[in-house]
Amino acid sequence: MVVGDGRKTRFWQDVWSGGCSFMVKFPHLFKISSDQAISVAEAGNVEWRLQFRRNLGRIELEWATLQQELSQISLTDSEDAAKWGLEKKGIYSTRSLYRFIVDPGVICRDMVEMWRTKLPLKIQILWMIWQDRLQTAVQLKKRKWDGPKECKLCNLTEDTDHLLFCCPPSTFIWCWVRDSLGWSEIPTTVEELLQKQIDGIPSRDNMRILFYLFAGVAWAIWRTRNDWVFENKLISNPKMLAYKVIGFLRTWSKMASPEDQDKRRWLLRKLEDGLEAGGLRVRGAPPTDS
Ligand SMILES: [Zn+2]
C-alpha cells in the first residue's frame, strides 16, 4: 500500500511500511493488540497510539522497533493506493513474482512448504491469498482504489475468506470436498483448511496435498469469479465449478515427484468418487485448460 491518509490501509495486516506487514514483523505485539483490525489512520490519529491487552514485558524490543519505524512516517491528505510490493515501481510482473518465489527472503519463510508443492507459476493467487492480498489484486486490476467491494453474487463484503469459503458456490465446493474426504465440517478459512487431515495421506505429506487441493479449488473459484465480475459470464450450475476443480487438479497432477503424483491421483479419485456419488459423471469429462 502507498499510504496517504491511512484510512484504507490496515495497520497490522497490510504491507505499507517496509517489506512485510507489522503483523508478521511484530507478531507478539500483534497478538496482544486490542484492535487487530485498526486502520493506519486510526492508529495514527493525533499520534501513534496503539492499545495492548497486557503489559509489554519481554516484547519491549518489538515495541521499540515499531515506535522507531512509526516515528519516520507521516500521513498525508491523499487517498491510500494499492501497489505491487515486489517491484520497485509498484507494477505487477511475473518476473518479480518469480524472484520472490526463488528467494523469498525474510518475508515469509512459512511459505516454503507451499512452494514445495509443485504447481504452475501462474497460480500466483495462492501467494496473494496467503498474504491476504486479494483486495490488492482486485485493486491492481482496476488500477485505482475505490473502497471495499461487495460480492457480485451475494452482496456480502468480498474478502478472501468470503470468496474462497463462504460465498454459496464456494461453500458448495467445500461440502463436496468434505463429503468426498470424510471430514466432519467444511473449512471456512485457509487456516482451518490447513489443519485438516486427509485420510490415507501420511502426515508428513498432508500439507503438500492440502495445498495442491487448495490451489485447484482457489484457482477454479478465482477464474469463475473474474469471468463473472469482469465479463458478466456466470456458470449455470455450481457443479460446473467442481468440474473445473477436477480439471485443474488433473492437469497439475503430473507436476510432482512420482511419489507425490500417486498421492495426487489418490486425492483426485476420492473427489471424483464424491462427485459421482452425487449423480455426476466426471471421469469422462474433458480436462480443463490450465
Ligand atoms: Zn458472495
Domains of the chain, by residue range, sit at 1-81, 123-277
Average pLDDT of the segment spanning 243-272: 91
Q: How confident is the model at residue 179 (pLDDT cuts 50, 70, 90)?
A: very high
The pLDDT value given to residue 76: 76
- Print burial letters for 164-196: b (CB count within 10 Å at least 16), e (below 16): bbbbebbebbbbbbbbbbebeebbbebeebeeb
- Cα(8) to ligand 1 centroid in Å equals 21
For residue 158, the CA-to-ligand 1 centroid distance in Å is 7
From the CA of 57, how far away is ligand 1's center (Å)? 43
- CA of residue 148 to ligand 1 center, whole Å: 13
- Helix/strand/coil (H/E/C) assignment for every residue in 13-47: CCCCCCCCCHHHHCHHHHHHECCCCCEHHHHHCCC
CA 11/CA 39 separation, integer angstroms: 5
Residue 59 CA to ligand 1 center (angstroms) comes to 39
Cα distance between residue 100 and residue 94, in whole Å: 10
For ligand 1, an ion, list residues with CB under 5 A: 151, 153-154, 167
What's the CA-to-centroid distance between 31 and ligand 1, angstroms? 29
Residue 270: band (very low, low, confident or very high) from pLDDT cuts 50, 70, 90: very high
Alpha carbon of 163 to ligand 1 centroid (Å): 6
